[in-house]
Amino acid sequence: MPAGGSRYSLLAASLIGDIEAGRYAVGSMLPTEGELCEQFAVSRHTVREALRRLREMGLVSRHQGIGTRVKAKRGNSRYVQSIDSISDLFTYVKNTRLAIVSRRDLTAEPAHSGLLRCAPGQRWLVVEVTRFLNAETLPMVASEIYIPQAYAAIGHELQNLRVPIYTLIEEHYGQRIAEVQQVMAACAIPARKARILKVRAGSPGLAIARHYLDEDDKMLLVSESLYPAGRFSYSMSLRFSWRDAEARTA
């Protein structure tokens, strides 16, 4: 297995490539879990997680007692993001394109304190953007990016950006993101965002607020993102550590 990324995401990528290349034709069976374990030198857990990702994409179906059958050469347009670490939050950026909707200057008021966590009067650049997955014509997300005025110059480099926005602050200003705090909530999409996302106003969505902090808890970036139902989902794998549990009870 090549280096970089979780082992099951790398295995999934390899299998997706084989399916798209026709090595495994639609209607054919994938190798068994045991065969994949031996072929890629990975655990059965890794194989199962990789196959789960392929099922979420609509590429394969699992049949009890038979195996895993290829059902499509291309996955559906919904993006399924699997998270193992902070860096995994941003892997989808490589497969998307960003478009700027609007820009505006903002002077923080008391009403902004909950989101921006700053005193009134602090100045921000707010850039409203959308992201599109590969060649899709419907946006997968509409976001508002809040950039402290001290870093506002990066706002001119966002169009068609293929790297996470925070990396521009790191590169241009020598800052380093030490922590990302993320809050997710179900919501009804308001009318203006619905027009941007091309969905019905009031339809269900997923709202995600992210705060990017350095090692001294200084706020470097804030974002609010809205994902319409059916175009994006998170996939998390949490494993219990018996070693940690034993240490707590010792």
d(CA 41, CA 144): 43
What local confidence, expressed as pLDDT, does residue 4 receive? 46
At 27, phi and psi to the nearest 5? Answer: 100, -15
Domains of the chain: 7-70 (1.10.10.10), 79-236 (3.40.1410.10)
Q: What is the pLDDT of residues 139-193, one digit of tens each?
A: 999 999 999 999 999 998 888 787 788 889 999 999 988 888 899 999 999 999 9
More confident residue, 195 or 75: 195
Q: Which amino acid, residue 191?
A: A
Compute the half-sphere exposure of residue 67: CA atoms within 13 Å on the CB side of its CA. Answer: 12
d(CA 163, CA 160): 9
Q: Are strands 141-148 and 219-228 parallel, antiparallel or unpaired?
A: antiparallel
Question: In the chain, where do the E strands start and end?
Answer: 60-63, 67-70, 79-83, 96-107, 123-133, 141-148, 179-188, 204-213, 219-228, 232-236
Quick check: 235 and 83 in contact, CB under 8 A? yes
> What average pLDDT does the chain have?
85
d(CA 196, CA 175): 32
